[in-house]
Amino acid sequence: MKGSSDVDSLHEMKRMRKKSVEFLIRSSHLLRAPLIVKYTGLFLFADRFLPSLTTLINQRNQIGSWLLRSVEESNLQLFALISIWISSKKHDSLALSVKCFKSLRDEFIKDQHFTTRDFVEAEVVFLKVLNFEIGTSNVAFIFLEELFVQFNGVAKVGELVSFEACMDVMDFLYENEETSLLFSSPYSLAAAILACFRSSKISPINVTSYVITVPKQQWEFPVLPWVKFATSYKEEDIGEKVKDILMHVFEPHS
């Protein structure tokens, strides 16, 4: 019975993780946060906070905050907002105010009422979980944006690459715990995402891969060789990562 309970607990954690990441993405859109704020928030929350939180839970919450005594969906939603707030203060000259987050908190977090004091305490807890290390040199979005600008500067085919579709796929990869592991290699992931798209008219779920579906002799521009030149990664490695991304994009989702 204990094994069954552990499995149920694991499934519940995965569900809450997905919901909290989706909440962060939706909140960043509602707040009209700049993309760098959104993706730095995702990096801090999904890449840094959640894995560290799992370790803390296993160590019986050494930080000692009531916000971590039991991991509830509402608590994770609060920390998702905190990650956007920290990111905003890091990147915006005029950071988003607590009042903006309060309106979102009151509207969408129904299971528990959090006060402004709780919000401030949650920021301290969040930073403690990260050991106050909030560097953002490994944010995949930054690498993708740099590669996108370079690509548009050297090839006309760059005009056919949809940056918005790239963002949609990045969101999708973050929402799923299995694919979120790809963010452990942010530079190669950014290169692979860029290599996936060639048309802004194609929806992210019906995306056509420039690398896989276009016959090599018809390419207007050798994308993979250029990626190899720009990033020093092997064409084969980027190609495999592209296939991995598209496999998850195309697989049925409930």
Q: Tens of pLDDT along 147-182?
A: 888 877 776 655 666 788 888 888 989 988 888 888
d(CA 57, CA 66): 12
| Residue % of the chain over a pLDDT of 90 | 22
Output the pLDDT for position 219.
Answer: 47
Q: What is the mean pLDDT of residues 131-158?
A: 82
- Interior CA angle at 53 toward 143 and 169, to 5°? 35
Output the pLDDT for position 156.
Answer: 61
Output the pLDDT for position 9.
Answer: 67
SS3 109: coil
Q: What is the mean pLDDT of residues 92-97?
A: 71
Looking at the domain that runs over 2-129, which CATH code has it been given?
1.10.472.10
Question: Average per-residue pLDDT in the chain?
Answer: 77
pLDDT in tens, 9-60: 677 878 888 999 999 999 999 989 999 999 999 999 999 998 887 777 666 5
For residue 222, pLDDT over 70 is answered with: no
Residue bearing the bigger pLDDT, 136 or 154: 136
d(CA 147, CA 84): 24
Q: What is the mean pLDDT of residues 63-78?
A: 80
Q: What is the mean pLDDT of residues 129-139?
A: 87
Q: What are the domain boundaries of the chain?
A: 2-129, 140-250
Q: Which residues contact 82 (CB under 8 A, 6 or more apart)?
A: 119, 122, 123, 126
| Residue closest to 237 by CA, chosen among 179, 174, 195, 175 | 195
- The Cβ of residue 167 has, within 10 Å, a number of other Cβ atoms equal to 18
CA distances (Å), 120 to each of 23, 45, 61, 115, 145, in order?
19, 16, 19, 9, 32
Q: pTM of the prediction? A: 0.80
Q: Which residues contact 68 (CB under 8 A, 6 or more apart)?
A: 53, 56, 57, 61, 75, 125
Residue bearing the bigger pLDDT, 247 or 58: 247
- The Cβ of residue 4 has, within 10 Å, a number of other Cβ atoms equal to 8
Residue bearing the bigger pLDDT, 229 or 34: 34
Helix and strand totals (H; E) in the chain: 13, 0
pLDDT in tens, 54-67: 777 666 556 667 77
Residue bearing the bigger pLDDT, 114 or 56: 114
d(CA 105, CA 52): 24
For residue 1, pLDDT over 80 is answered with: no
Give the relative orientation of helices 163-175 and 235-250 as an angle to the nearest 10 degrees. 70
